[in-house]
Structure 1
Amino acid sequence: MSSLDSPRLTLWRDITPLPSPLIHPPPFSPHILVIGGGVTGLVSSWVLLDKGYRVTVLAKDFVSDEPGKRLTSQIAGALWEFPPAVCGSHTDRISLERSKVWCMTAYHIWDGIADIKQLRDDSGVRMMPSTFFFPSAIEEDPDQFDKMEEMIASGVRGFRRSTQIMEEQKVDPEYGAVDAYQLLAPIIDTDKGMHWLTSLVRSKGAKFVTREIDCDLLDIEEALRVEFKADAIVNATGLQGTTLAGDNSCYPIRGGLIRVINDGANFPKVEAALTITADAVHDSSEIIFLVPRNDNILLIGGFAEPHEQSLDLTLDSPIVKRMRSRCEAFLPSLKKARLDESYPFAQGLRPFRQRNVRVERELRSKKSRIVHSYGQGGAGWSLSFGCAQDVLALVEEALSGVQARPMAEMWHVSQLDPCTRALGQAVSNTALVAIENRAHPKLRPRI
């Protein structure tokens, strides 16, 4: 069985959230240069470190709490979805089906992390009710109905479907939501999560280098490998894929989130994520996105503006005012919401790719040992561990001399259909995966 066909990445078996690497690298262990300091680069580094590789992380910027210097991974809404909204109707089928595997891998690992109180507190990861609303009965939209059935079969926890959810969550019945389901899903305080990931990767032995690369990696691959004594390079640079991978299909999608105080003083505390997603309304430009960031902050969103690159929006920008008005019409109690004065509005550029997520080796040179992982859009957190598992497998292929193959050849559609081996194995292993990721009491670390 090849690495690409190996069982799903599992917490405590394959990776550990403890400071030391699961496998301590011997002096001759291969050295991997990971370019990119966001969630995709850090989680890929974590997986490589726990497999016994030596890692250097190179990035222009790392996690910061300074105004205007937060990474895209910090600004992200970070609401888990199956499959993430990055996989819209423009996505090729290979990427869509692979994303289902990626997001379920991440689901179980985040669930395992949230199951231990100190890890939950340190990482900012919580399992919370997430409710998805629909403008018509789910059965009337075959894509949504199939998505719901696949998601249930894939092993999510706490699934419940009921029209009573609208009343329970105090959604305005006049808004037009007529059906809903709810499940427990990872919701992440991304500022805290990025600090935790950075600290964890550093504690496992990674070196950090601050530097900007602004040219095609293929042109400087040999020089980089010599300089860092690297056996392979992982490109996890988001929007920089245009430059670093010579990929003109990458483009930004601008988004923004209003932050309000969610302590119950001005309106009933929102304790579940409430969303109407882009694929439910078949319109990705303006959606309902209400997500508790932590105990005291609620995020209000959202919208998507393709090919907008400037970050000059304000609370008075028309699209931001429409966003707030739309969410207040959906949940009227928000009209009394009070802004988080220290950080009222977050905006960023989601790193999209026309053919969507790329987890693939460099194909322009047979000698290259570059592995790409970019184009995750707004779903970096949701796809993180699944993409990292494939990055690991592709690094191992490159080091062993296996010839690079396009994604379409690595994962045939026939192998990825919901009723075929990939998902079938995931469904049959649901109970085992859930148990493994929640850590047997005898194996649970003393933290």
Structure 2
Amino acid sequence: MIVVVGCGVAGLSCAVRLAEAGHAVEIWAASLPPRTTSNVAAAFWYPYQAQPRARVLGWARVSYQRFGPLAGRPETGVTTHRLYDLYHEPVERPWWADAVPEYSRLRPGERPAGFADGFVFPSLVIDTRVYLPYLVRRFGRAGGRIVERRLHGLAPALERTPLVFNCSGLGARTLASDPEVYPIRGQLVHVDDPGVRGILLDEHGADGLAYAVPRGDHCVLGGTADPRDDDPSPRPEDTAGIVERCARLDPRLARAPRRAELVGLRPGRTTVRVEAEVRGSACIVHDYGHGGAGVTLSWGCAEEAIALARPYLHPVPRRRPA
């Protein structure tokens, strides 16, 4: 038996891979979809402010490759969109560009007014309202079991099994006694989609982050990234700022009817932690601290976490042909 702590995108990705490989797996979590931080995420493929770069590049590339075959299947919530990465001054090609199959510089007429440079590449939008239930169904079909349980440490999981995957996100501050974990408050605004041409992103604006992510009949606007701010309530001034910044990406967004305002607390850390911790004959594999890149790194981190656990994984008997 393997216990995965956490039922957001990191925990579900690990659990699905393990269960589909034939292992007996339980997920233990205090919050299940749709009540996870992952459910709030705008969730488009982009390695947003994650470190260390060398490892992030590999994780992001693997995730891109895993999401690709899921795109266009309604039951997954994954769709392909071109991402317009916009800048206020000329820039060099980003460090992560090799993770995607195409990456080209925008010509002047292809950029919104006020932007001096930009790139375009094929990205993916992962609608977590659909995608997380899809992962839950995959996990269940593979024989996995989900237990709604609040933990105050990892000892109860280690009493159940010698192999635990800690995918507890912000909860790792307590469960893993990790003082490096801190909340990053992110606010989003959902509006009717006026026909945005793709994912529009301005990560480096002087007055804050701006992105517009099309999701069918509506558009997710962001955002904020306030470190060590754990206020879960939407703030009117943040909503106004988000809409104002996004209107520079597409002026029609200023008038788009608003549907919802949401806040999520991302699990921040100086570096993403994917690491095996040996405790006697037991092993805890940590997979947390992804900040705003949790979905983008999910499959890559899951695969590395499982590779780290391999010495503790019992061989799965091959099924005989019927």
**TM-score, reference length from structure 1:** 0.67
Name the structure 2 match of 1:353: 269
The amino acid across from 2:245 in the alignment is: R
Shift of 1:146: 4.9
Partner in structure 1 of residue 37 of structure 2: 72
Question: Aligned AA for 1:213?
Answer: L
Aligned partner of 2:282 in structure 1 is 368
Within a 5 Å distance, the mapping from 1:210-249 to structure 2 comes to 210-215=148-153, 217=154, 220=155, 223-226=156-159, 228=160, 230-249=161-180
Q: Is the 8 A contact 1:253 1:304 kept in 2?
A: yes
Alignment of 1:132-281 (within 5 A): 132-139=85-92, 145-147=93-95, 151=97, 153-154=98-99, 156-164=100-108, 166-167=110-111, 171=112, 173=113, 176-215=114-153, 217=154, 220=155, 223-226=156-159, 228=160, 230-262=161-193, 267=194, 269-278=195-204
Residue 329 in structure 1 maps to residue 228 in structure 2: no
Contact 1:128–1:186 under 8 Å retained in 2:
yes
**Aligned twin of 1:303:** 224
SS at match of 2:282: coil
Q: Which structure is higher in strand share? A: 2
Distance (whole Å) between structure 1 residues aligned to residue 94 and residue 32 of structure 2: 39
Query: Which residue identity lines up with residue 332 of structure 1 in the other structure?
Result: P
Please provide the CA RMSD for this pair. 1.9
- Is 1:123 the equivalent of 2:76? yes
CA shift at 1:276, angstroms? 1.2
Secondary structure in 2 aligned to 1:80?
Answer: coil
Distance change in 2, residues 1:146/1:189 (3 Å): closer
- Give, in whole Å, the separation in 1 of the partners of 2:225 and 2:109: 27
In the alignment, is the contact (CA less than 8 A) between 2:20 and 2:139 conserved in 1? no
- Tell me by how many angstroms 1:366 deviates: 4.4
After the TM superposition, which segments of 4 or more aligned residues of structure 1 sit over 4 Å from their partners?
Answer: none
- Aligned pair count reads 314
Q: Deviations over 1:351-409 (max 9, x none)?
A: 0113x21010125x444311111101121110011001111111113458xxxxxxxxx
SS of the residue 2:212 aligns to: strand
Preserved CA contact (<8 Å) 1:231 1:399? no
**Deviation for aligned residue 1:231:** 3.7
Q: How does 1:374-413 map to 2 (within 5 A)?
A: 374-399=288-313
Q: CA deviation at 1:73?
A: 0.5
> Which residue of 18, 29, 36 maps to 1:59?
29
Residue in 2 aligned with 1:8? none
1-structure distance, mates of 2:12, 2:175: 18
Three-state SS of the structure 2 residue aligned to 1:128 is strand
Structure 2: distance between partners of 1:121 and 1:252: 32
User: Structure 2 length as normaliser, TM-score?
Assistant: 0.92
**Distance (whole Å) between structure 2 residues aligned to residue 198 and residue 271 of structure 1:** 31
Quick one: structure 1 residues 146 and 290, their matched pair in 2 at CA, closer, same or farther if it must change by over 3 Å? Answer: closer
- Residue 233 of structure 2 corresponds to 312
The corresponding residue for 1:289 is: 211
User: What one-letter code is carried by the residue in structure 1 that aligns with 2:300?
Assistant: G
> Displacement, 1:34?
0.5
Max Rg structure: 1
Shift of 1:85: 1.3
Tell me the amino acid that sits aligned with residue 189 of structure 1: D
**What one-letter code is carried by the residue in structure 2 that aligns with 1:286?**
G
CA shift, 1:202, in A, is 1.1
Tell me if structure 2 keeps the 8 A contact 1:358–1:375.
yes
- SS of the counterpart of 1:270? coil
Query: Per the alignment, in what secondary structure is the counterpart of residue 286 of structure 1?
Result: coil
Amino acid in the other structure paired with 1:108? Q
Amino acid in the other structure paired with 1:106: S
Which is richer in helix?
1
- For residue 97 of structure 1, the aligned residue among 54, 65, 77 is 54
CA distance in 1, matches of 2:309, 2:149: 23
**Within the alignment, does 1:86 sit opposite 2:2 as a pair?**
no
Contact residue 352 and residue 376 of structure 1 kept, 8 A: yes
Shift of 1:271: 3.1
Distance 1:185 1:207 in 2: 32
